């Protein structure tokens, strides 16, 4: 599909997203969050006091409660101003607690602390991860990238993932984040061959993210941005797999739901350096993640990915993650995947995989 002046349309979309991000007016994100927190206070007097504090007005002492007032009546926010016209600590914390999932995950209210690690993608360990199609003979159209023999891989293995991001720079045009994700498939039950790691994927990213505020089909747009991603498995030939991408993103919220859409453009490599020339027709050219924070601390996330092509090039995948609380931040975790590209080495293998284990919730 051709775009302007013959450029691929998939190359134009990330650039358009960045242009939209830079064109958005700068906003006082902390002040906006504090205003939203005040609006969520049901008691009239407490809500008025919240706005008075937010705008630096003196607040008269609260009137004595009537004898008939219930003992658990809503208390008026208290605390001194941090500075002229600045919201109190209580107001800021209330705003953070009342913020939507994307605001909390990406600190869109301006509450970020540089170089403090915060969750990114799911952190989990799945002692049992079973597939209906284990890849015993990995291959790729690139010359010298096929094993030619079957590997002694079993269909039941363990899988785990670690992921975090940190705010590196708060700039007028957006927040610059550094992120890292690593996932491994471990042949834990292959004692006769020393339980090797079958596949480990590494993905460092640089992410430019900007807060936004716009409406779209009943959703509220909260962020836009661009990222630069490198993903590889760190293997030598014939098992080496890798690609580099420029990824655009747009994030929307609606009540407890969040929706993140990410189209990307692959950075081309020379033929002799390309481990997987057909990877976009399997691992896709865009993905969509729909996430909901349910009651009692449950998290549900659906990730859809597609090649954005028709015919025999129409391929994709679906992944469903469900986290439910056990104790503290420890959650039970179930992951169901079906399609292409469950890992880099399996990018051109279609499979269905089910895993059960534990997760640290709070990711996005």
Quick one: 6 exposed, middle or buried, by C-beta within 10 A (0-12, 13-18, 19+)?
A: exposed
CB contact at 8 A, 202 and 101 = no
User: For 53, phi and psi rounded to 5 degrees?
Assistant: -65, -40
* DSSP code of residue 57: -
- Is 230 annotated in the active site? yes
For residues 338, 339, 343, 344, the Cα torsion angle rounded to the nearest 10 degrees is: 180
From the list 146, 155, 163, 230, the catalytic residue is 230
Sign of torsion, CA 282 286 289 290?
negative
Q: Which contacts of 286-289 are long-range, i.e. CB under 8 A and separated by 24 or more positions?
A: 286/261, 286/262, 287/261, 287/262, 288/259, 288/260, 288/261, 288/262, 289/259, 289/260, 289/262
- Is 129 annotated in the active site? no
CB contact at 8 A, 109 and 91 = no
Output the six-digit token pair for 21. 């991000």
Q: How many CB atoms lie within 10 A of CB 192?
A: 7
CB contact at 8 A, 225 and 208 = yes
Output the six-digit token pair for 203. 């993905």
Count of alpha carbons within 13 Å of 252, Cβ hemisphere only? 15
Q: How many CB atoms lie within 10 A of CB 236?
A: 6
Non-local (6+) Cβ contacts of 63 within 8 A are none
Non-local (6+) Cβ contacts of 228 within 8 A are 205, 206, 244, 245, 246, 247
From the list 140, 232, 240, 270, the catalytic residue is 232
- Rounded to an integer, what distance in angstroms lies between the CA atom of residue 154 and that of residue 220? 45
Residues catalogued as catalytic: 230, 232
């Amino acid at each position: 599909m051709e775009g302007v002046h013959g450029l691929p349309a998939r190359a134009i979309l990330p650039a358009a997203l960045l242009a939209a991000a830079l064109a958005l007016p700068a906003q006082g994100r902390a002040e906006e969050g504090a205003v939203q927190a005040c609006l969520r206070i049901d008691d009239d007097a407490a809500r008025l006091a919240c706005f008075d504090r937010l705008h630096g007005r003196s607040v008269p002492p609260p009137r004595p409660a009537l004898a008939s007032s219930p003992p658990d009546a809503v208390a008026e926010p208290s605390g001194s101003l941090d500075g002229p016209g600045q919201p109190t600590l209580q107001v800021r914390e209330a705003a953070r607690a009342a913020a939507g999932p994307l605001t909390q995950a990406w600190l869109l209210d301006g509450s970020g602390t540089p170089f403090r690690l915060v969750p990114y993608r799911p952190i989990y360990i799945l002692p049992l991860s079973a597939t209906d199609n284990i890849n015993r003979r990995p291959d790729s159209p690139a010359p010298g990238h096929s094993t030619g023999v079957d590997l002694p891989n079993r269909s039941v293995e363990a899988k785990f993932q670690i992921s975090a991001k940190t705010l590196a720079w708060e700039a007028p045009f957006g927040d610059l984040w550094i992120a890292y994700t690593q996932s491994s498939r471990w042949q834990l039950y292959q004692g006769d061959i020393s339980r090797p790691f079958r596949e480990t994927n590494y993905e460092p990213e640089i992410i430019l993210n900007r807060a936004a505020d716009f409406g779209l089909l009943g959703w509220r747009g909260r962020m836009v941005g661009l990222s630069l991603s490198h993903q590889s498995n760190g293997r030598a030939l014939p098992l080496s797999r890798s690609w580099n991408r420029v990824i655009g993103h747009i994030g929307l919220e609606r009540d407890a739901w969040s929706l993140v859409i990410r189209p990307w453009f692959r950075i081309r490599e020379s033929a002799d350096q390309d481990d997987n020339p057909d990877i976009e027709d399997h691992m896709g050219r865009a993905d969509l993640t729909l996430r909901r924070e349910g009651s009692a601390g449950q998290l549900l996330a659906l990730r859809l990915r597609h090649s954005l092509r028709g015919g025999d090039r129409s391929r994709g995948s679906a992944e469903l993650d469900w986290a439910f609380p056990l104790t503290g931040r420890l959650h039970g975790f179930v992951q169901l995947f079906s399609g292409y590209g469950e890992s880099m080495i399996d990018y051109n293998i279609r499979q269905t995989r089910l895993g059960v284990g534990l997760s640290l919730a709070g990711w996005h």
